[in-house]
Amino acid sequence: MTKIRNIQDLAHMAGVSAGTVSRALAGSALISVKTRQKIQALADEHGFRPNAMARNLRIQRTGSIGVLIPLGHETGQQISDPFFISMIGLLLDGLAARGYDLVLSRVIPEDSQWLKRFVDSRKVDGVMVIGQSDQAETLDAVAAHYKPLVVWGGHQAGQVHCSVGSDNRLGGDLAASHLIERGCRRIAFFGDPRALEISQRLEGCRDAMRRGGLEGSLTVLPAHLVAEAALPDIAQFLGSTGQPPQGIVAASDVIAMSALRALAELGLQVPGDVRVVGYDGLALGEQTVPRLTTIAQDLPRGAAYLVDMLLRRIAGEDTDSVVMAPKLVVRMSS
């Protein structure tokens, strides 16, 4: 059997030009179905596979998407965090279905140029960022001149970068309103508002407290997002207060789980003594004792938006930010 070493050999055997072979193997509609089938059959018969790296160099594409997790305000957080794992899995599935590989990186920003350095390296065709942390200004600076960039996170007036996320302020409002409806008057918010999403969730809690005439009854503990770091701080807070809060709004489900453990170790009953609401809607919330009430973000829908919008931006389109409505999921903890 004649060995086919390259596209030129296959073109000679098929009696067509190398350009026709290249377009046919890429599935181009410019080549007739009959010709595409003939060329593909010859390639299969001789076990020929085009060099994807060489093709990508010709069309100036890498076939890869960068997924970055900046940890500006919470440097101890790991990729193994349940929220990150959930989102990465959804993005990986969505990108693979579109023929892209995923290049994953956890970033500890040491200066404001970390994202510019990454996009200037041209390692990837586009970039997704999971979470704004305290890096909104850096994201805006890069987005002003680099189109294929989308971010999971909150949206605020004047924002330059394209983001997808839930209406965090509404989510915080839903959580606090639910606790007030359950009779809570002293409410604590657990989360570090240096991150945009968390600050918006805190503002939503304050909105609900103001409507209920409870402006002075909200306490804020800037709890860590890392469970191992959050637990001792939460335990100390709960143990040192004369009157524990009647309700807790946690800025994430992971923080809420730490709160449930701290309350149990202090002998406080949930929801009898303290009611707890998380944020994210992670599957783990179904496994806590008691099962966790949460503000659910539609992560599968959000990941689909991120993939679709990034590929449209790679193609040169403009896309607007998407803000999705969160949903209160009531379980046993409240």
Q: Is residue 97 part of a domain?
A: yes
What tens-digit pLDDT sequence spans the chain (334 residues)?
567 777 888 888 889 988 888 778 777 777 888 998 898 888 888 887 766 545 554 545 678 999 999 987 777 778 888 999 999 999 999 999 888 899 998 888 888 899 999 998 888 999 999 999 889 999 999 999 999 999 999 999 999 999 999 999 999 999 999 999 999 999 999 999 999 999 999 999 999 999 999 988 999 999 988 888 889 999 999 988 878 999 999 999 999 999 999 999 999 999 999 999 999 999 999 999 999 999 999 999 999 999 999 999 998 999 999 999 999 999 999 9
What confidence score (pLDDT) does residue 245 get? 96
Q: What is the pLDDT of residue 52?
A: 52
Q: Does 1 fall in a domain? A: no
Identify the domain boundary among 19, 41, 58: 58
* Residue 121, in any domain of the structure: yes
Distance, CA of 305 to chain centre: 11
Q: Same domain, yes or no, for 142 and 87?
A: yes
Are 256 and 197 part of one and the same domain? yes
How far apart CA 127 and CA 185 sit, in angstroms, is 44
Q: Are residues 291 and 148 in the same domain?
A: no
Q: Side by side, which strands form the sheet with 218-221?
A: 218-221, 187-190, 247-250, 275-280, 293-296, 327-329
Residue 200: exposure state from Cβ atoms within 10 A (0-12, 13-18, ≥19): buried
Domain co-membership, 222 together with 240: yes
Question: CATH no. for residue 103?
Answer: 3.40.50.2300
In a domain, 95, yes or no: yes
Distance of CA 292 to the CA centre of its chain: 21
The 10 Å Cβ neighbour count of residue 121 is: 9
pLDDT at 163 (0 to 100):
97
Residues 304 and 291 in one domain: no
Same domain, 47 and 99: no
Identify the pLDDT of residue 57: 44
Between β-strands 187-190 and 162-166, what pairing exists: parallel, antiparallel or unpaired?
unpaired
Q: How many domains does the chain have?
A: 3
Whether residue 331 lies inside any domain: the answer is no
76 in the same domain as 45: no
99 neighbors 63 (Cβ within 8 angstroms): yes
CA distance 34 to 143: 44
Digit-coded pLDDT (tens) for 218-268: 999 999 888 888 899 999 999 888 789 999 999 999 999 999 999 999 999
3-state percent helix, strand, coil for the chain, nearest multiple of 5: 45, 15, 40
Task: Tell me if 334 is assigned to some domain.
Answer: no
| 20 three-state secondary structure | helix
What CATH number is associated with residue 48? 1.10.260.40
Q: Give the whole-angstrom CA distance, residue 307 versus residue 91.
A: 7
Helix residue spans in the chain (DSSP H) = 7-14, 18-25, 33-45, 52-58, 82-97, 114-120, 136-143, 168-181, 196-211, 227-240, 253-265, 299-314
Q: Are residues 159 and 303 in the same domain?
A: yes
Angle made by CA atoms 162, 168, 174, in degrees to the nearest 5: 155
Last residue of one domain, picked from the residues 58, 77, 101: 58
* Same domain (yes/no): 23, 54: yes
**Residues 209 and 156 placed together within one structural domain of the fold:** no
Does residue 2 lie in a domain region?
Answer: no
Q: Which residues contact 31 (CB under 8 A, 6 or more apart)?
A: 20, 23, 24, 39
How many other C-beta atoms lie within 10 A of the C-beta of residue 334? 24
Whether 129 and 249 map to the same domain: the answer is no
Instruction: Identify the pLDDT of residue 24.
Output: 82
Asked if the structure places residue 330 within a domain, the reply is no
46 lies in which domain range?
7-58
The per-residue pLDDT for 1 is 54
Same domain, 95 and 140: yes
Q: State the pTM of this model.
A: 0.80
The whole-number pLDDT of residue 53 equals 47
Give the count of beta carbons closer than 10 Å to the beta carbon of residue 23.
18
